Chains A and B, each alone.
Chain A
Amino acid sequence: AQKVTQAQTEISVVEKEDVTLDCVYETRDTTYYLFWYKQPPSGELVFLIRRNSFDEQNEISGRYSWNFQKSTSSFNFTITASQVVDSAVYFCALSGPIQGAQKLVFGQGTRLTINP
């Protein structure tokens, strides 16, 4: 069975601080995909990034970076120089091989509050 754990329920930091959101996953699939979604107060789900299980390169996109470590089954998300607009709930998600139904299994989410 697939499972995603986001142990941090809530994080609160002051603007401009760096913050890392943790994500640990479990799966028996040898090919799988990992995702991060942002859910702002307005409620929609905003796609941030996808990672394949066979691509362990870290990725940076502006102030966002992702650290995928297969050895520890983790896919952590770091926001550098956080801003108030980063305040949201962030979900890590996992899906199986693309040939299947490819349902997304979400973690519990981490509520991130950036204080001015």
Chain B
Amino acid sequence: EPEVTQTPSHQVTQMGQEVILRCVPISNHLYFYWYRQILGQKVEFLVSFYNNEISEKSEIFDDQFSVERPDGSNFTLKIRSTKLEDSAMYFCASRAGGWEQYFGPGTRLTVT
């Protein structure tokens, strides 16, 4: 069964450094998402991406964040200058034209 994959599973970085979180969505899917979950809290929407552009973004998704689908298979989330409060689990999701979003296993980002 096809699945969404994410790498790395755990990323540790120092405050102020740039990080890129990578996702490979399911191959025939058209809509792509990033969510984050701060430890012990709810899952929060960051951004949705369709037809090579952002379709919606949340207040969390400020200028420090960017997304890209560089090669038709990967979907990346870049954080330009990480802060301590960026420490969280980041989930990628994708969907075809239907309703279900398929989630990846997540990348745990730790900013020290």
Interaction A to B: yes
8 Å CB contact of B41 from A47, A95, A103, A108 = A108
B18 within 8 A of A: no
Count of chain A to chain B residue pairs whose CB atoms are closer than 8 Å in the complex:
58
A43 within 8 A of B: yes
Given contacts A45-B43, A91-B43, contact A104 B106 (CB under 8 A): no
> Which of B19-27, B44-52, B64-72, B75-83 contacts the other chain?
B44-52
A18-52: contact bitstring with B at CB < 8 Å (1 yes, 0 no)?
A: 00000000000000010001000001110100100
Which residues of chain A are within 8 angstroms of B105 by Cβ–Cβ distance? Answer: 43-44
| A107 and B42 within 8 A (CB) | yes
Closest 4 CB pairs of A and B: A101-B56, A101-B48, A45-B103, A103-B45
List 20 A-B residue pairs with CB atoms under 8 Å apart, sorted by A's residue number.
A33-B99, A44-B105, A45-B106, A47-B101, A47-B102, A50-B100, A93-B43, A98-B98, A100-B55, A101-B31, A101-B50, A101-B55, A102-B99, A102-B101, A103-B33, A103-B48, A103-B56, A106-B43, A106-B44, A108-B42
A13 within 8 A of B: no
Interface residues of A (CB under 8 A from B): 33, 37, 43-45, 47, 50, 91, 93, 95, 98, 100-109
Interface residues of B (CB under 8 A from A): 31, 33, 35, 41-45, 48, 50, 55-56, 58, 89, 91, 93, 95, 97-103, 105-106, 108
Name the residue of chain B whose CB is nearest to the CB of A111: B40
Starting from the known contacts A45-B106, A103-B33, 12 additional A-B residue pairs (CB-CB under 8 Å) come to A43-B108, A44-B105, A45-B103, A47-B100, A50-B99, A91-B42, A100-B55, A100-B56, A104-B33, A104-B43, A106-B42, A109-B43
Given contacts A50-B99, A103-B48, contact A43 B89 (CB under 8 A): yes
Which residues of chain B are within 8 angstroms of A47 by Cβ–Cβ distance? Answer: 100-103
| A45 and B42 within 8 A (CB) | no
| A102 and B95 within 8 A (CB) | yes
